Each structure stands twice: as structure tokens, then as C-alpha cells.
Chain A
Amino acid sequence: MKNPQKPLRETNKKVRPAGWQIVAVALFLFYMLLPIVSTYIFSVATRWDRTILPEGYTLEFYIRAFQTSYFIITLRNSLILSAATILVSLIVIVPTVYWVHTRLTGFKPLLDVLMILPFGIPTVVLALALVQVYNVPPLARSPILLIGAVVVYSMPFMYRPVSNAMQAIDALTLTEAGQSLGANVFQVLSKIIIPNILPGILSGSLLVFSTVFAEYTLTSLIVGAKFKTFPLLLVEYTRINGNIAAAFSVVSFTIAWLVSILILWVGTKGQNGATETIQAR
């Protein structure tokens, strides 16, 4: 008699994709990559309005972009804003999600709904409301207020992955196991919970970084020229010189990718580091 499990295994074998599947994937990739590739090409094109491909290529716009007086400052501001937002989000969200999954489970639906709100409120409304409400020095129109606003705006991007990761590990039982072995709440969090939800924390940080690094509306309305970030500079240059703006975009893409790789690398290094200490023991 045939093993009843056999047919199941055969379906797991690699199957050649059908023609339409290849076409669908190719269309999707084309749709996603076309703007990026065009931006890259446009940033090195001499003239590109009369022909299908640019008439010539040059690095002139990059040189001019790097020579812009605000280039380094805006880049630094953007990095500060992103890093601070990630830090504040982690400090606020990780413990909250932990408590909601272990002790205050009744509040989870409420939190789930709250985390959709930032998507529902237009950023312009959020920014203007914040500027009005916090119109007291030292908060008024300060980078601190901006960080607060950006944390709220990007919160769902941190909350979802962290919450999903927490869901997957049965945090309550792990907590109780840790407590029965003598660990207090901080030891449980730092030695058991956080290492086990690290993939969620990393992907949340990546999403927040890419969202905040490209954030324009809140920055422009809350602090404006007082704390100029990279997107502000970029938008400013779309009015001055499209090619330089394209060069800025490329720089922005590249930095976002580099930082993503860096965060992932730090994450996997952390895990490997843990493995090495175990093996060394």
C-alpha cells in the first residue's frame, strides 16, 4: 500500500512557475522599481526630455549636492530625529505591549484600535493641533515636540511587529517560568522577553527609521527651518534643480538601505554574540 503521506511530500517539491506567474511577478517588480531606477538615472543625466534614454551622463549634480551648505546638517538632523524616535518608541512600546500581553490582556483590543488612529488622522491636522496645544516655550516649535509628534505618527509601525512577536512567544508562561526561577520583572524583560522578540523589535525599528527619515509634513509644519531635515532640503531643491533633487533622493535611498543593513547586522550580531558566549562557557 502507498504511504498516505507521499502525495503531500510531492506537492512540497519545487514546481515550475506558470507563464502568467512569471509575467505577474515581472509586472510587480517593474512597477516597484521603475521610479527608483528612473531617479538613479535622472541624477546622472545631462538632459533627458527629448530621448528615451538620457542624452549624456555626468556626476556634476552629485558634486553640487555634496557642496550644498545644508547637506551635512540636514542629514545629521534626519539621523538624530530617526534615532530618537526609535529610542522613544522602544521605551514606550515594548513595556506596554508586554504588560498588555501578560497582565492587562483586556486592554489589548483597545490598544489595537488606538494604533490605527495615527493612520486616520491627517498629518497636517496632527501638526497644526500639536503646534496650537503645545504653544508654550520650551516645547513650542521645538525639535522635542517634533520627536513627540513623529513618535505618535510612526507608532503603529513599531507596535505591530513587536505585538506580533510577543504574541508568538507566550510571554505570560515564559514570565512565570522566569519568576519561578527567581528572576524579577526587569530580569525577565531583559534576559527572556526582549531577546525572544528581537526580530519584531528590529523590523519595527527598520519601519520606523524609513518612515521618519522620509518624513516631511510634520517637520515642515512644526519646526520648519529651525531644524531642517533632509526631506525639507530635498523638497526645496525640487524647485531649484530637479537633477540635484534626484541626487539627494539617491543619497536618501542609499542611507536608508545602509541603515537597514546596519540594524539587521547589529541584530544578528547580537544573536550570534549570545550563541558565542554560550559556546564559550
Chain B
Amino acid sequence: MAYLDLKNVTKSYSGVDVVHDFNLEIDKGSLVSFLGPSGCGKTTTLRMIAGFTKLDEGTILLDGEDITAVSPNCRDIGMVFQAYALFPNMTVRRNIAFGLLMKKMPKKESEKRVAHVLEMVRLQDAAERYPHQLSGGQQQRIALARALAVQPRVLLLDEPLSALDAEVRVVLRGEIRRIQSELAITTVYVTHDQEEALSISDKVVVMNRGVIEQIGTPEEIYRTPQTHFVATFIGTANQFFGKVSGGDAVICDHFTLLADDVKDFTDGQRVVVLVRPETIHVEPDQPKHDGWNIIPGEVETITFHGAVTRLGVNLHGQRVVADITVANTKPISLNQKIWLLFPPAACQVMAVDERS
């Protein structure tokens, strides 16, 4: 049985569903991310789990207990906020001890616990400082320590790294994952940053307009997106619109693409073919490769990204991006005519989502 179970959760504001019929089971000890653009309902869902926002419909079960009507301070659910929300009038030590004080924990035990979580976030020296004397990254570490000190049943993180520098973000997300695995604490992590979600989660819930688009491991989400939205929201994908023809092809405006999985679609149905840039090979001379898609184009942009170089290629007026590694490609220059080459397996065919 799932540890945290959301059933038919619905919330609307002035008639508009912000979260619609949301169903999700979260296993004990796992880290689940809610990923989606702003306004997709991810924070609202998190706040409903925390108890700060009331549900219109549905139930939330925690360890088999219905907590839908339980007030936030009695849920035993910890939360880390985007704005840190440390108490400005208290030192780091008192901030962390606050939850323990509310639980009326004996002073000695509380002191031990504070020291332990401070060590966990590697800020032992900051105990006597006030929040305003710390950097943003340090404040968020303390906020994490404060939430963990009471050993909550579930830890909620609401875009905890959005206010921080890129560098600090990467370090801290690794720390969050390390601590989460060490404690095996059930965690829900809200973010709009896909790289963040993919890198630290056991499972990712991709949300759009109040509904779940897909639930899966980071790899499943990236490699086998189930919907047009997920495919375009996660990573970069080239899109080719066309109509299904036969059991293995999609006819686009200027060329026909061979694809593996068009059997679920009817002949003539309008579909979109998605091709990730890293699956495209680039050849300066016309290649011969039976059964692959080979399309000529002209190089318009070359952007060096370190490990890969991204080419912007003009394909009959449509811009297509392809990632090449210097090691296995011949030198390519601007305005050069080249051939793009990719296997039918690289083509993901899905119904067109007119909203995306």
C-alpha cells in the first residue's frame, strides 16, 4: 500500500480547476517531484498535502490515516519554502529547536538533535548566527535542517532552490538527495526546473493545467514521453507535423519520415513526430543507410556547448537542431549543405496536443 495516497483531489479557484482529479500514490522513502510550468497546479497540490490549502474534493491518506481534515500543525509533515522562511528573531539553533520545543522535547535530547541535523547540513559553525547573517544557500540548508529536526512523516519542498545561484543550486540539490536517501524520508519536491527534477527524483510527476500528464522514472519521462506536452516540455525535441501513411511512415510537407510506432494511429490521422537532437547524425556527404531517415539541409547556426556542439539546420524552412560530438563528426562550417540521418526508432509519434 502506498504511504502517501492522493485520491481524486480537486481544487478550483473561482470556477477554474487548478488541480483536477489528481490521483497519486507515493511509496515510503521515495522522492517524487512535481514538475510543470508555472500555474500547472503543482504548488497547490503540495499545499493541499501540507494542509495550507483546503481540498474541494478528494481525500489524502498518510500511512493509511485520512488527513484531509487534519490541521497543518497536527499533520507531522515538514516543509521547506522557496523564501526559506527562517524566523528572523531567532538564531539558527533556536530556529531548528523550534519544532522540538513545540513537541515539548526535553532540552538535552533537543540539543543533541539540533547538533545532529546541523552536522547533516554541514553548518555546525552557524548555530549562534542569525538568519540575516547567512547566505541564501546557507539559509536554505538551515531551513532543511529545521524541517528534518522534528523527523516528519513526509518532507515537502516547494521550489527550494529557485531563489539561489545556478552553482549553489546544483550543489544543494545533490545534498538534498543525499540527506533524503540517508534518512529514507518520503519526500515531495516541487520544481519547474526539469534538470533538477530528472536528476534527483525516484519518480517524476509531470503536470500541466491541473492534470497529471505522466508519472514515471526520470528515464521513462525523458525516453518514452506519453504525451506531446511531456515530449516538448522535457528536454529539447524537434517536431515534425504530418499524416500517418501505412504502418510505418508519416508524410510531412516536404519529406516522409519512417517511424516504428505508428500502428496505434489510423491512416491519415494528424500526428507529430518528435526527434531528440542527440539521436540525429550529421553527414557532410550523402550517406547510404537503408531504412533510415535521410534528409538534406543547410547549417544555419553552430553553438558550442562543451561536450556537444548544437547545429541549427534549415530543413525546407523548418529549423531543426542536432547535437554532434566533435570526436565522431567531420568538421562542419556555416551554410554548408549536410545530411541529417536518424533511425525510425528515434522517431516518437504521438497525437497532436493543440494546446502545446
Contacts and interface: CB of A to CB of B under 8 A. Distances in A.
B85 A278 contact: no
Contact of B102 (A173, A183, A195, A278): A183
A181 B150 CA distance: 7
Contacts of A88: none
B34 interface: no
B89 A170 contact: no
A180 interface: yes
Contact of B73 (A170, A184, A191): A184
Contacts of B89: 192, 195-196, 271, 274
A176 B143 CA distance: 13
Given A180-B72, A180-B147, A169 B88 contact: yes
Interface in A188-202: 191-192, 195-196
Contact of B52 (A169, A170, A176, A181): A176
A69 interface: no
A181 B102 contact: yes
Nearest to B88: A196
A199 B93 CA distance: 23
B188 interface: no
A187 B101 CA distance: 11
A176 B87 contact: no
Interface string B137-171: 00000010011001010001000000000000000
A180 B102 CA distance: 11
B216 interface: no
B98 A278 contact: no
Contacts of A279: 128
Interface in B67-109: 71-74, 76-79, 81, 83, 85-91, 93-94, 98-99, 102-103, 107
Given A174-B85, A187-B102, A180 B90 contact: no
Contacts of B207: none
Assign chain A's interface to a size class: 20 to 34
Secondary structure call for the A interface: helix
B272 interface: no
Contacts, number: 76
Interface string A248-277: 000000000000000000000001001000
Given A180-B79, A182-B150, A196 B98 contact: no
Nearest to B96: A181
A281 interface: yes
B271 interface: no
Given A179-B73, A180-B77, A183-B102, A278 B93 contact: yes
B50 interface: yes
Nearest to B89: A195
B79 A177 contact: yes
A184 B94 CA distance: 18
A224 interface: no
Given A179-B72, A180-B147, A278-B93, A173 B128 contact: no
Interface string A217-253: 0000000000000000000000000000000000000
B147 A173 contact: no
A94 to B, nearest CB: 16
Contacts of A192: 87, 89
Contacts of A182: 73-74, 76, 99, 102-103, 150
Given A173-B83, A176-B50, A195-B89, A278 B150 contact: no
Contacts of B77: 180
Interface in B96-128: 98-99, 102-103, 107, 111, 128
A170 B83 contact: yes
B342 to A, nearest CB: 47
Nearest to B79: A180
B180 to A, nearest CB: 17
Given A176-B52, A182-B150, A184-B73, A278 B83 contact: no
29 contacts: A170-B85, A173-B81, A173-B83, A173-B85, A174-B85, A174-B87, A176-B50, A177-B79, A177-B87, A179-B73, A180-B73, A180-B77, A180-B156, A181-B98, A181-B102, A181-B150, A182-B74, A182-B103, A182-B150, A183-B73, A183-B98, A191-B98, A192-B87, A195-B89, A196-B87, A196-B89, A271-B89, A281-B93, A281-B94
Given A177-B79, A180-B78, 12 more contacts: A173-B81, A176-B85, A177-B87, A180-B73, A180-B152, A181-B78, A182-B74, A182-B103, A183-B98, A271-B89, A274-B89, A281-B93
- Top 5 A-B residue pairs of the complex, sorted by shortest distance between their CB atoms: A181-B99, A182-B102, A177-B85, A180-B79, A195-B89
Interface of B: 50-52, 71-74, 76-79, 81, 83, 85-91, 93-94, 98-99, 102-103, 107, 111, 128, 143, 146-147, 150, 152, 156
